[in-house]
Amino acid sequence: MLKLYISPGACALASHIALEEAGADYETQVIDLRSGQQRTPDYLAVNPAGSTPALATDHGVVTQNPAILALIAQTHPDAAVAPIDDPYAFAAFNALNGFLSSSLHPAIGKVLFSHPALEDEAKDQAVAQALAKYQLVEDHYLKGDWAMGDAFSLADGYLSVFTRWARQAGLLDASRFPRLNAHLDRVQARPAVRRVLEAEGLSVV
């Protein structure tokens, strides 16, 4: 059985959604980031980087959401949760997940999770930079109702992590980001996503 290490509401939510959408046989273990559990010897033995998600498999531990999403899609082909049969479409899927991981996540993370918290001009600049990343997704990355076009893929679950954060922070303005808002509502309406939110003790936002 697969074992996913998560922290409720953190970016590991993407991998949790992926496993549920794929119908995988898995279990979860919560790592409490606020108490520093990710820095304990037990967890560092799982993931020396001390972050979530981490997916324990029969072939070792896989870390980083983009890698985990690609693995889940390829090992659960019948679930049709990514365009794995088309190398170019699969490259686009991986490119979007790479952008979310390397660009959008750090940008919104700086706004929401800096210690000490950003203030005044520094906060305004960070917010502007993060919103510019969301604008790229709004204008260019969403290909239709879903990120890859007409069909749901695991990239949609990943994107919803960051639109949830932005909406909770009052940054996902409906007039500026109508497509992202509609997309988030669409993702959160999915039965598998509802089950994951409930399992993590989270509410629809």
CATH of the domain at 119: 1.20.1050.10
Instruction: Quote the pLDDT of residue 26.
Output: 98
What's the structural domain count of the chain? 2
Q: What is the distance between the alpha carbons of residues 87 and 104, in angstroms, rounded to a whole number?
A: 24
In a domain, 204, yes or no: no
Q: What is the mean pLDDT of residues 162-182?
A: 98
Predicted confidence at residue 94, as pLDDT, reads: 98
* Shared-domain flag, residues 49 and 73: yes
Question: What is the reported pLDDT for 116?
Answer: 95
Whether 172 and 99 map to the same domain: the answer is: yes
**One domain for residues 112 and 185:** yes
- What average pLDDT is seen over the chain? 97
Domain that holds residue 138: 87-190
Encode pLDDT of 75-134 as tens digits. Answer: 999 999 999 999 999 999 999 999 999 999 999 999 999 999 999 999 999 999 999 999
Pair 74, 99 in one domain:
no
Residue 205 lies in a domain: no
Same domain, yes or no: 98 and 167: yes
Do 161 and 100 share a domain, yes or no? yes
DSSP structural state of residue 118: P
Q: Are residues 74 and 103 in the same domain?
A: no
Q: pLDDT tens for residues 27-51? A: 999 999 999 999 999 999 999 999 9
Give pLDDT, residue 118: 95
Is 102 inside any structural domain? yes
Percent of the chain predicted with pLDDT > 70: 100
Is 6 a domain residue?
A: yes
Residues 127/111, Cβ–Cβ less than 8 Å: yes
Looking at the structure, tell me whether residues 186 and 91 fall in a common domain: yes
pLDDT at 17: 98
Residues 71 and 108 in one domain: no
My answer on whether 44 and 104 are in the same domain is no
Residues 159, 53, 38: CA angle, nearest 5 degrees: 130
Query: Is 155 in contact with 96 (CB distance < 8 Å)?
Result: yes
Which CATH number does the domain housing residue 33 bear?
A: 3.40.30.10
Clarify whether residues 44 and 72 are in a common domain: yes
pLDDT at residue 107, rounded to an integer: 98
What's the whole-model pTM score? 0.97
User: What pLDDT was estimated at residue 165?
Assistant: 98
